[in-house]
């Protein structure tokens, strides 16, 4: 089954009771049993829900995985993964990553004895020297947020597995349409399904997809024991959004490519970060492991001032100033004060995240309107 068919059909079956073609929203907290332990596969809705089960089967197919486990948000999914580790274990992460992920590691799990370290993974061979005897998990974002650096998943996995270390790839920026890390050897793939997977900015959701049954069983235990599960309506909305995933991401990537080239020609812009440029570090890796180069574009202003950035950010009409990404509508954001404010400034600056850096989530509008919008905002 090819991807464009999977999004419509994988894990989806007409409702046996009514023939409804859309997966019903099973809005229930519990299920009647014929006798103690004699039930139809469902006991309590924190543990199982048929709407969620259909979504999990669909998500697993999209990533070519065996099992998907859904959570109430992307950070809840990450929280469950980190709960599999013990005090003294080290989580080695990319040094450019979502601020919420950085906060969860440093402000929550370090209090319980986990160690977080953040390094540049753009050169896999340099990674060997960074791995310590306590390293148990490599946490990868690629493309990274917001600098859009690229990590060679296959090579990093080879190096990690040689030392018995698991690898999780946060695939939120790419989506399963562009990149499938399990095919490259990753042990776990995480998504904030809030973003491209749902695609309509109307739900908060997260998931982890795996091939290893032992990992799946651990995550399902934590899912049930800790209870950070999505409701059936959330799962229904994600299922609905997935049906157009390939169409939305394809169009958004095409728009992003034109916008990236436009920004590169602008006098007010000093640098554009987009993996599709041939001079982008690891461009060839992105070309090989991704279907397209993504719908995210970041750029820095030439005068390098936060005041100019704020003026530009407030001057767009079609690009809405808001956190999040991956919706059908285009968004513009200021990572230093919004999505990455929880990362200390000195750490942000090490990866090039300045106070004048602007991040775009390119949507599916007419690209000429989007370019005109950016042009007028940069000119004023």
For residue 182, pLDDT over 90 is answered with yes
What DSSP assignment string belongs to 217-260?
A: HHHHHHHHHH--PPPHHHHHHHHHHHTTHHHHHHHHHHHHHHHH
At 373 the pLDDT is 98
At 305 the pLDDT is 80
- 77, 318 contact by CB (below 8 A): no
Tokens of 247: 């169409």
Q: What is the CA radius of gyration of the chain?
A: 21
Q: Is 355 a catalytic residue?
A: no
Q: Is 46 a catalytic residue?
A: yes
Catalytic residue among 98, 102, 291, 348: 98
Instruction: Name the pTM for this structure.
Output: 0.96
HSE (side-chain half, CA atoms, 13 Å) at 379:
6
Helix axes 232-242, 50-62, angle to 10 degrees: 30
For residue 308, pLDDT over 90 is answered with no
The pLDDT tens digits of the residues spanning 137-149 come to 999 999 999 999 9
367 pLDDT band (50/70/90 cuts)? Answer: very high
d(CA 21, CA 11): 12
Share of the chain above pLDDT 70, in %: 100
d(CA 157, CA 289): 13
d(CA 134, CA 163): 11
Q: Is 170 a catalytic residue?
A: yes
Catalytic residue among 136, 166, 195, 291: 195
Share of the chain above pLDDT 90, in %: 96
Q: What residues are paired with 301 via a beta bridge?
A: 269
Residue-range domains of the chain with CATH: 3-242 (3.40.640.10), 245-379 (3.90.1150.10)
Q: Is 15 a catalytic residue?
A: no
At 200 the pLDDT is 98
- Average pLDDT score, the chain: 97
Catalytic residue among 46, 83, 117, 258: 46
Q: Which residue blocks in 265-331 are alpha helix, DSSP H?
A: 283-289, 306-313
Cβ-based neighbours of 231, under 8 Å, separated by 6 or more: none
Catalytic residue among 79, 96, 170, 187: 170
The pLDDT tens digits of the residues spanning 345-356 come to 999 999 999 999
């Amino acid at each position: 089954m090819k991807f464009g068919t999977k999004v419509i059909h994988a894990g989806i079956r007409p409702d046996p009771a009514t023939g409804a073609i859309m997966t019903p929203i099973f809005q229930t907290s519990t299920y009647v049993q014929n006798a103690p332990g004699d039930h139809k596969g469902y006991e309590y809705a924190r543990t199982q829900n048929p709407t969620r089960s259909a979504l999990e089967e669909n998500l697993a197919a999209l990533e070519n995985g065996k099992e998907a486990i859904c959570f109430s948000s992307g950070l809840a999914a990450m929280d469950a993964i980190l709960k599999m580790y013990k005090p003294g274990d080290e989580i080695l992460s990319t040094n450019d990553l979502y601020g919420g992920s950085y906060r969860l590691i440093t402000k929550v799990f370090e209090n319980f004895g986990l160690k977080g370290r953040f390094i540049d993974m753009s050169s896999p061979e340099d990674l060997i020297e960074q791995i310590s005897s306590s390293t148990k998990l490599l946490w990868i974002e690629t493309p990274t947020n917001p600098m859009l650096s690229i990590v060679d998943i296959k090579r990093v996995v080879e190096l990690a597995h040689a030392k018995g270390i698991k690898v999780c790839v946060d695939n939120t920026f790419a989506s399963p349409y562009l990149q499938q890390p399990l095919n490259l050897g990753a042990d776990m793939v995480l998504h904030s399904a809030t973003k491209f997977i749902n695609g309509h900015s109307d739900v908060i959701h997260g998931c982890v997809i795996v091939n290893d049954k032992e990992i799946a069983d651990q995550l399902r235990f934590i899912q049930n024991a800790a209870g950070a599960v999505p409701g059936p309506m959330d799962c229904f909305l994600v299922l609905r959004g997935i049906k157009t995933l390939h169409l939305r991401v394809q169009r958004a990537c095409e728009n992003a490519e034109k916008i990236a080239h436009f920004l590169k020609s602008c006098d007010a812009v000093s640098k554009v970060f987009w993996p599709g440029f041939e001079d982008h570090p690891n461009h060839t890796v992105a070309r090989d492991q991704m279907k397209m180069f993504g719908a995210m574009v970041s750029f820095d202003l030439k005068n390098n001032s936060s005041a100019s950035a704020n003026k530009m950010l407030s001057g767009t009409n079609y690009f809405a100033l808001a956190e999040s990404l991956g919706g059908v509508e285009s968004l513009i954001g200021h990572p230093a004060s919004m999505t990455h404010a929880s990362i200390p400034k000195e750490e942000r600056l090490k990866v090039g995240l300045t106070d004048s850096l602007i991040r775009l989530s390119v949507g599916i509008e007419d690209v000429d309107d989007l370019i005109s919008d950016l042009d007028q905002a940069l000119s004023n």
